[in-house]
Amino acid sequence: MQFRMQFNIGKQLTENSQAGTGGKLEAGTRDRGGNLSSKQELAVLVWSRWSALVPRKINVLVCRIARDRIPTMLNLRDKGIDLDSCLCPVCDLVGESVVHLFAGCTLLSPIWSMIVSWWGVALPSEVTIRSLMEWGDNSGLEMESKRHLEAVIMVVFWSLWRFRNALVFGVVKPRKYELFDDIQTMS
Ligand SMILES: [Zn+2]
């Protein structure tokens, strides 16, 4: 399946992170134009979707992903940490940003088409962090199924981050073909 990737969100996240929100979720903070910035909109979106179906640690991670607050290689570099490489540790081709890791990496993004097959729902026309987080709303599923799909999507975010960390820090390198099995088991 051909994925159409959109990197605007990542660009916006970077730009907005420079404006800074003090590290707090400030739902009412608005830019000069009176609109919630994209980053804040996304944070509010996720905050309102705290799921009782998954553990707190997964909810917390998804909030941090939405706010671009996880230690990807590019985020570490921006904090002044000296790294041998800022490339994605999975594909080794592109700088590792939140957007790349969860929506753009060609070696990881097939996981989303597996969710399509598993759930019988259409992939968002553009795969972005936001469209993935809104996937349940746009799935056409009934409320209960929608809530479960959203929980599965959160588990995928968790599993991708865990896979990446195992690749970077683990003694035994993880295998991608086990990723989907892990997600189904956790879900
Ligand atoms: Zn990659």
Query: Ligand 1 center to residue 186 CA distance, Å?
Result: 24
pTM for the structure as a whole: 0.75
Of 12-21, 76-85, 97-106, the one with minimum mean pLDDT is 12-21
Mean pLDDT of the chain: 79
Q: Quick one: pLDDT at residue 50?
A: 82
Give CB contacts under 8 A, 24+ apart, made by 19-22.
none
52 C-alpha to ligand 1 centroid (Å): 30
* 173 band by pLDDT with thresholds 50, 70 and 90: confident
Give the Å distance between the CA of 61 and the centre of ligand 1: 19
Q: 141 CA distance to ligand 1 centroid (A)?
A: 31
CA of residue 27 to ligand 1 center, whole Å: 31
Query: How far does the chain reach from its first CA to its final CA, in angstroms?
Result: 24
Please, are residues 151 and 53 in contact by the beta-carbon 8 Å criterion? Answer: yes
DSSP calls for 91-118: TSSSB--HHIIIII-TTTTHHHHHHHHH
pLDDT tens by residue, 116-147: 999 999 999 999 999 999 999 999 999 999 99
Q: What is the CA(106)–ligand 1 centre distance, in A?
A: 6
Q: What is the pLDDT of residues 42-54, one digit of tens each?
A: 666 665 678 889 9
Mean pLDDT for the stretch of residues 67-94: 95
Domain map (residue ranges) of the chain: 8-18+34-186
CA 167/CA 161 separation, integer angstroms: 10
Other beta carbons within 10 Å of 92: 10
* d(CA 72, ligand 1 centre) in Å: 11
CB 127 within 8 A of CB 109: yes
